[in-house]
Structures are given as C-alpha cells and as structure tokens.
Amino acid sequence: MSDAKKLAAEKAIDYVQDGMIVGVGTGSTVAYFIDALAAWKDRIAGAVSSSEQSTARLQAHGIEVIDLNAAGPLALYVDGADECDGHKRLIKGGGAALTREKIIAEASARFVCIIDPSKQVDVLGRFPLPVEVIPMARSLVAREILRMTGGQPVWRDGVITDNGNVILDVHNLSITDPVAMERELNQIPGVVSVGLFARRPADVVIVGGQPPRVL
C-alpha cells in the first residue's frame, strides 16, 4: 500500500500553487506529500500543520510552519483518511490528530484527500471511529456513546493527543447517516471532536494507483 500512498501524495502536488500557504494533515500518506512539497519550499509561503509530527517533518525539509491564526483562510488542505465513502465523507483520527485536522479542513477552501484503495468503503464504520475526549470525561463519554450508538468505545490507552486529551475508538458501527452521527456525538459534554468528516467532507479524493484516480 505504501506505493499507492506515495502515488496519491505526489498527485496532490498538482493542487499546489505559487505563493500558497498549504494546510498539511498527518499520517504516513501525508509524510509522502510533505516530502514532495519539499521541492516547492521556495515557491510556497509556508504550511499550516495539523500535528507535532507533521511540523517536525515540514521543518526538517526547511518549510516554514505558520500558525493558523496568522495564516487566515487557506486555499488548500491536503490530508489522508482512514475511510472514505462515495460522498467523500471520511473517518479520520487513526493518528490521533483529528481535532487540528478538522480545524484546518474547516479553514480551507479546498480539501484534497489522499488515500490508497483499501480506504474506500460503501458505508463508514468498519474502521473504529476515533473520538477525542477531555480526560476527566472519558467514562461519561464512553457510556453515552454506547447508549446512543450501540458501538463499543475502547480507550486508546497510552495515547495523549497534541492537545492533551485522550482518544476513544468506537468499534462495531455501521454509519448510515454520518452527518447526523457527527452532530449528535459532538453534543456530548467532554467530546472535543469526532473523527467523522461528513458535515465538511473532502472536495477532491485522490486514490493512489498507476495512474492515480481523481474523484
């Protein structure tokens, strides 16, 4: 799959333009994108990063990392996903960076999602849905998620997000209405963000292959 990830990531460079501040996601597919973006470092104004991990890789390539508050609205955000349905709605957060990813996606005019073919699904939910939670609310939120969805929340033990929070991965979901589930889970006190990107889906999906497919 790493070849497919690399091919998708390199195709996303087609969307980068001179002078841009590029929004950059997190994960192994995005790592290939950052490596490809290095060739553009003197042509772009910099990048807004969604994680400490991506920040380190961007800076290692000499790409300036800019705070989102200073950057303002972005023209382009490039990120991976754990699942993608036929409406370009996503599950994200396998790398625990979902909250910052969602903020940058919201701030961006165009969200280009880069995936390998294994991420394409008819119905979201085979991949356990990540939910970022304030630590003291972990048990409360887990009980509420079980009651509301019937899914089984599992604490991602040992993982602390860049925001100092914890992750619950919700197993055994079949998400037939992702917009409604995103809205409802967001209402639980203690939930910071839900790894469903349905209200703001991707605009373009690039599926890695020879050649890459642009959806």
Is 26 an interacting residue with respect to ligand 5RP (CB under 6 A)? yes
Smaller CB separation from ligand 5RP, 4 or 44: 4
Smaller CB separation from ligand 5RP, 26 or 55: 26
Of 133-192, which residues contact ligand 5RP (CB under 6 A)? Answer: none
Smaller CB separation from ligand 5RP, 80 or 151: 80
Contact 189/183 with Cβ under 8 angstroms? no
Mark the segment that binds ligand 5RP (CB under 6 A) among 19-27, 67-75, 104-112, 173-181. Answer: 19-27
- Member of 23, 25, 153, 190 binding ligand 5RP (CB under 6 A): 25
Cα(6)–Cα(63) distance, integer angstroms: 19
Cα(5)–Cα(3) distance, integer angstroms: 5
Dmax (CA) of the chain: 52
CA 81 vs CA 3, 84, 92, 169, 189: distances in Å? 16, 7, 5, 15, 26
- Member of 47, 82, 167, 202 binding ligand 5RP (CB under 6 A): 82
Cα(165)–Cα(94) distance, integer angstroms: 15
Verify whether residue 132 is a known catalytic residue: no
Cα(30)–Cα(54) distance, integer angstroms: 8
Footprint on this chain of ligand 5RP (rule: CB under 6 A):
25-29, 79-82, 92-98, 101
Q: Which residues are annotated as a binding site for substrate?
A: 26-29, 79-82, 92-95, 119
Q: Annotated catalytic sites, by residue?
A: 101
